[in-house]
A and B are shown apart, each in its own frame.
Chain A
Amino acid sequence: MASHPALKAIRRELFASRTDGLISLGLLALIGASLLGLLRWAFLQAQWVVIQANSTLFAVGRYPLDQQWRLWLLVALLAMASGLSWGLLRAIPRADRSGVLWPLNDRIALALLAFLASWAPAALGLSVPLQARWWLITALLLAIRWSAGRWGRRLPPRLLKLVPLIWPLLYLLGMALISGGLGLVRVPPSEWGGLLLTVLMASFAILASFPLGVLMALGRRSELPLLRWGSVVYIEFVRGAPLITLLFLGQNILGFMLPGGLAPDRVWRAAWVLTFFCGAYVAEAVRAGLASVPAGQQEAARSLGLTVPQALQQVVLPQALRIALPATVGQFISLLQDTTLLSLIGLLELLGTARTVMANPDFLGLTAEVYLTLAVLFWCCCAALGLGSRALERRLDPTHSPA
């Protein structure tokens, strides 16, 4: 019987002493009661129809119905790209990776995906054709994952090197698909909403704030007083103010500061405020990383004949950024959470959409359902980012990979 060591472990962990036992029992009772209450509420009292009836609004806001095929296309492309990257990651064995095609984590992910694809569309009450689309997209992802894992090794290495390039290309393509132009009907940012707007805002601000943050961090450590003081003033100004006052600046004052035609749409204005906000925090994270790279590294690089930018690019920054990675990703996670503040300035991202939905006479008073759904959604996104960051940290850690 395997239960014997398990029982022992439980005893050691929960009932080491009498007081420990009492605490454990009390806590167990409390957990049981709250879980029971929650389940009873979720299955018997909660009216999930508020989520079902508004699922499109939550997903894409007021994105025109006849143009939503563009978003479906984008999701399909994303699924294909993820399948390809995932498969190749497993197919090409490297020092820091086992050559197993389907390690345990992947099997868990596979099960999770299959479950989500079959449960979520049905739970949301989507029509059968829409459900079928989600099944198809999931099947596409898994099929490409499977074939890339199986035959990926046979691809010419030169082609393999190009695969990561898919992602920035896809991002640009996605932006074009979403906003239109080039023959497609233009969909102005004021019609983006829900999860789509949240993801766009967060991804844009993350991508744009990173280089800004690195530049500002370098500027702050520069010997040139103008660069240094410029960076210091910017970083401290942004870090000293609550985000909501900066968004207030963006919405109420920026319009006065830019010449008439140049002021961007208010969605983009908010995106830039988020970028500049996040940039200052990334700068501080990177600065801490730079500070922890020993001065000898740069001296050594310089004495090898590298110029300052070369030394920086090839020796100092790679080390500094690796050290700064957890803090930087932490900033990105809080940026994703901060997108909810956009609802306070009237943008219809997830929380803003939720507020309009709850003001709808048909769904008055269903606040708990909406807030809980949003909480779960945000939790999953943030936790996934955190997990990804930790995985990346392990991969980049030079002491971990067997050379």
Chain B
Amino acid sequence: MLQLRRLLSASPLLLALVMGGCADEGSGGGGVQSEKMATIRSRGKLVCGVDGKLPGFSFLGPDGTYSGLDADTCRAMAAALFGDPGQVEYRDLNSSERFAALASGEVDMLARNTTKTLSRDSAGGNGISFGPTTFYDGQGMMVPAASGIASLKDLDGKPICVESGTTTELNLADRMREQGIAYTPLKFQTGDQTYAAYLGKRCVAVTSDRSQLAAKRSGFPDPDQHVLLPVVMSKEPLTPASINGDPAWADAIRWTVYALFQAEELGITQANVAEKLAEAKANTNQADLRRFLGVEGDFGKQLGLPADFVVQAVTAVGNYGEIFERNVGRASALKLDRAENRQWTDGGLIYSPPFR
């Protein structure tokens, strides 16, 4: 027993030893200190947390490849980091596990239609760090067209399907409480089960981000049989995120996404980026373009990224407008309008701070 007691008394010392032994070993590229980016570089792959089952945002096709706006964000990041958009390892995360996956370092970043909120952003809350919003959305409600339901009031006493662990779930509770509507929330862990229950007519309505509802509806056997109620229950800025405590990595994400915005503003597309680069290299007087494309200055180095990260990202996935149109725009299966997601020059909310 004596030995045991002695051991026990020595345990705080051991604890201190162990805790001290795990010192940071960060070594950033280009003079920037980022533990995360060092890890990603040494791994050679970016691990990106996505939904995986949401057409238009991140969807795993039968050929085993991911497509969508969120998936393109991951690809743009991989292109910026490695010059190769293929160096992404996708992780399908459901809404309940995404923050834990990010916090524990399981994924490097989230591009999983995640709403930016105070409690998720703050250090005292979920403690994650958000980049620029890539899709401004609002919560909606979808019902069968034949149900005759026209407003939230008509849902009194009815079951509503909702994915658990989402802001949607909380907004639903808030809106219904405000209006004094009693309802039964049927919660499922994953989107596919939520919509399976809705299609199985267990609920008379399903609520989620309007874009997600449109995305899911596009896959239904008879999309015209379902309508979105003309209500917007909340603001849902869907935003890529990384872990708090690695500002350099957060900056890299932030400015790579801004670069996609800026490219659209400057009219740089996937098709003409090479041309623009040649133009920038030839004309020493186009300083803005030269800096943006990394011909001049050290923006890349300041972020810990290669100098040509903008060129790589745009070459890989195109500018923001192209990404939008390809995945969720009028020409896609989702048929969404740009609406709030237009450039600020067109009266929208997509706005990149200056690259200076």
A residues whose Cβ falls under 8 Å from a Cβ of B = 53-54, 57, 62, 64-65, 188, 190, 226, 251-252, 254-256, 259-261, 263, 266, 344-346, 348, 355-356, 358-361, 364-365, 367
Contact = CB atoms under 8 A, between A and B. Distances in A.
A348 B97 contact: no
Interface stretch (B149-157, B215-223, B288-296): B215-223
B174 interface: no
B60 A251 contact: no
Contacts of A57: 62
Contact of B60 (A62, A254, A358): A62
A80 to B, nearest CB: 29
B345 to A, nearest CB: 35
B contact residues, range: 35 or more
B146 interface: no
Nearest to B216: A361
Main secondary structure of the interface of A (DSSP, over half): helix
Contact of B62 (A53, A254, A358): A53
Contacts of A252: 97, 100, 104
Nearest to B93: A346
Nearest to A348: B92
B309 to A, nearest CB: 25
A188 B90 CA distance: 11
Which of B104, B195, B219 has its CB near the most chain A CB atoms (within 10 A)? Answer: B104
A367 B199 CA distance: 12
A364 to B, nearest CB: 6
B53 interface: yes
A266 B106 contact: yes
B2 to A, nearest CB: 13
A54 B62 contact: yes
B64 interface: yes
Contacts of B278: none
Contacts of A190: 89-91
B33 interface: no
The 9 A-B pairs with the shortest beta carbon distances in the complex, nearest first, are A255-B104, A361-B219, A359-B192, A252-B100, A62-B64, A359-B53, A259-B22, A346-B94, A355-B192
29 contacts: A54-B62, A57-B62, A62-B64, A64-B64, A65-B64, A188-B89, A190-B90, A190-B91, A251-B100, A252-B104, A255-B103, A255-B106, A256-B103, A260-B35, A261-B39, A266-B91, A266-B101, A266-B106, A344-B189, A346-B93, A356-B52, A356-B53, A356-B92, A359-B53, A360-B62, A360-B219, A361-B220, A364-B199, A364-B219
A365 B199 contact: yes
B105 interface: yes
Contact of A251 (B97, B105, B189): B97
Given A54-B62, A62-B64, A356 B220 contact: no
B100 A367 contact: no
A342 to B, nearest CB: 12
B105 A260 contact: yes
B334 to A, nearest CB: 12
Interface of B: 4, 22, 35, 39, 52-53, 55, 60, 62, 64, 89-94, 97, 100-101, 103-106, 189-193, 195-196, 199, 218-221
Given A255-B106, A346-B94, A358 B218 contact: no
B292 to A, nearest CB: 35
A263 B105 contact: yes
Nearest to A53: B62
Given A263-B105, A356-B192, A365 B89 contact: no
Contacts of A360: 62, 219
Contacts of A345: 97
Given A255-B106, A367-B196, 19 more contacts: A53-B62, A57-B62, A62-B60, A64-B64, A190-B91, A251-B101, A252-B104, A255-B103, A255-B104, A259-B22, A260-B105, A345-B97, A346-B97, A355-B190, A355-B192, A356-B192, A361-B218, A361-B220, A364-B220
A365 B92 contact: no
Contacts of A348: 92
Nearest to A269: B106
Given A62-B64, A252-B97, A344-B189, A361 B55 contact: yes
Contact of A346 (B64, B89, B92): B92
Given A358-B196, A361-B218, A255 B89 contact: no
A364 B105 CA distance: 34
A54 B61 CA distance: 11
Nearest to B53: A359
Nearest to B42: A261
Nearest to B64: A62
Contacts of B55: 361
A117 B192 CA distance: 34
Contacts of A54: 62
A266 B49 CA distance: 13
Nearest to B35: A260
Contacts of A263: 104-106
A360 B35 CA distance: 38
Nearest to A259: B22
Contacts of B52: 356
Contacts of B100: 251-252, 255
Contacts of B199: 364-365
A226 B89 contact: no
A106 B341 CA distance: 68
A65 B64 CA distance: 9
Nearest to B193: A355
Contacts of B104: 252, 254-256, 263
A100 B199 CA distance: 58
Nearest to A266: B106
B163 to A, nearest CB: 12
A341 to B, nearest CB: 12
Which of B35, B64, B189, B219 has its CB near the most chain A CB atoms (within 10 A)? Answer: B64
A263 B106 CA distance: 9
Contacts of B220: 361, 364
